[in-house]
Structure 1
Amino acid sequence: MAPSRALFAHLRSSPRVLPFARRTISSCTQTHRSRISPALHSGITRAFPALPSRRGYATATPEPPDYLNEAELQIFNKIKAELQPVTLEVQDISGGCGSMYALQIESERFKGLSVIKQHKMVNEVLKEEIKGWHGVQLRTKAP
């Protein structure tokens, strides 16, 4: 028997969960479920239960983490006040000199806007700060 066939034969006969099976099968469509043996399906859902939906707590405004330096905290608070984000991460990626930042923003105000328009909104909010930066890594999305 070829090695790949031996592996699949083992999967059909064994209810164990393999380490590379990361998704819960319960979230798959019915057509995907029909391809997996019930023993394997139950083993995967026990090992990797479904994660709770983010919708239940998506309206809370983020609080700044304790590890932000003064410049990061200023940027965090300015974005928080202007864009009311659901999630917000600010990180100085220039080695501490404050010349380059990575920003990850998820806000309701981005709904229905293209990524370019979302970035323009952030650039408008941080117009004065960006003048002194070497660069910025910006990731935005609507929840």
Structure 2
Amino acid sequence: MSEGDIAEPLRGGSAPGSSRTSAQVLPFPAAPNRISFDRGELQTILNLYGRMVAGGEWRDYAIDFTPDKAVFSIYRRTSEVPLYRIEKDPKLARKQGAYSVVVASGLILKRGHDLDRVIRVLDKPLQVVSN
């Protein structure tokens, strides 16, 4: 075949001398079910993260999606253990609340049903500065 020729597939049968086999179509493997933050939740978390980065307190983050929970980890420096983890665990949604803020030592600072209220524990209150 030369460079400009197009090969046509065989129609109706197989090539002479070869056994006829049927092609089997395999389904595309679906992604495993993973828990994730939706757009609104991620916007709320990133708004807090942006304020803290602007204040010079946080520098890096990581997001992990597992079959059990979604985790937003916050770092002061890239090479350290995360300062805080904001976790979403739907299994706890009816009991203690799906959202929690966890410190590096594993202590849960706050847990609840409303993400805004839960991450408020990380947002520093405004202070009055006097001259």
Query: Given the two structures, how large is their TM-score scaled by the length of structure 1?
Result: 0.26
More relative contact order in 1 or in 2 (CA 8 Å, sep 6+)? 1
More helix by share: 1
**TM-score, L = length of structure 2:** 0.27
